[in-house]
Amino acid sequence: MNQLEQLKQYTTIVADTGDFQAMKAFAPRDATTNPSLILKAVQKDEYRPLLEQAVRDHGSKSTGDIIDRLLVAFGREIVKIIPGRVSTETDARLSFDTEGTIAKGRELIRLYEQADVPRERVLIKIASTWEGIRAAEVLEKEGIRCNMTLLFSLPQAIACAEAGAQLISPFVGRIYDWYKKSTGEEYTGENDPGVQSVKRIYNYYRKFGYKTEVMGASFRNTSQLTELAGCDLLTISPELLQKLAETDAPVTRKLSSESAQASDLEKLSLDEKTFRLMVNDDAMATEKLAEGIRLFCADAIKLEKMVDALR
């Protein structure tokens, strides 16, 4: 078996792309999208018709409404290809707006159900700010499942699990990027700080009985992926899926509920003040969260300009 086939023995594989052809080629169970991936996709000839149709069919609506429909149009096509769930992201400009995020999550689910896609096949992606986590808590109680993104630290992960979030997406590669830039060192294998962060979160969840799924995200190389064999899910770009499929080096399970019980992690109690202080004390988490929100906001604005240019 190649590495991708081996990895599928231990972990659910998710495609981190808006490219339908890549999903067909690598047969993931789930798929994730974000503003950057959708922006990239609609600039390709094969996906531009989805953008044009959204504008044509809903031109009288606001730019934001048209983009919501574009996101759902992508999601509807994706669930025709995969057997599982598609993740659709809320506007990053709502990252500090609990009520706005709740409203956006409800609207996206309404549009999906209107398009005959049941809510069970959709995850609403929300930034793992305190405000975003509170929004997820409300949405989950309404049966709207959430994927907590832009997650870089254990306090964020704990708060998400205590809010009952369905799934979290800790960003392995962006953590790696920060430490590499900060220290000038290369990190490989189990020494990779991004890998270590996800292992710590996974072990914490399993040791203390949280049901929230852990989906490693934002990878830079296949070593990061194989070091997390056994994680609940891994969302992987088409480029890295291809690399995994091209090698047959052995992959062994690295994460399990059994090993998590042996970890020396202690249970933390988090209220809002403690959460904010702990995240603030982590320079990497603070900087990468802020940067991630800025980048997603910038790409959302670019997408809006593309919509407006077609109206």
Give, in order, the Cα–Cα distances in Å from 84 to each of 20, 43, 119, 146.
14, 26, 12, 14
Give, in order, the Cα–Cα distances in Å from 309 to each of 63, 202, 276.
11, 44, 40
**Residues 32, 90: Cα–Cα separation, whole Å:** 13
Q: Which of 104, 125, 199, 288 is catalytic?
A: 125
Residues 6+ apart with CB under 8 A from 299: 35, 36, 39
User: Is there a catalytic annotation at residue 125?
Assistant: yes
Largest CA distance in the chain: 59
Torsion angles phi and psi, residue 232, rounded to 5: -55, -50
The 3-state DSSP class for residue 30 equals strand
What is the token pair recorded at 152?
A: 């870089």
Residues forming the active site: 125
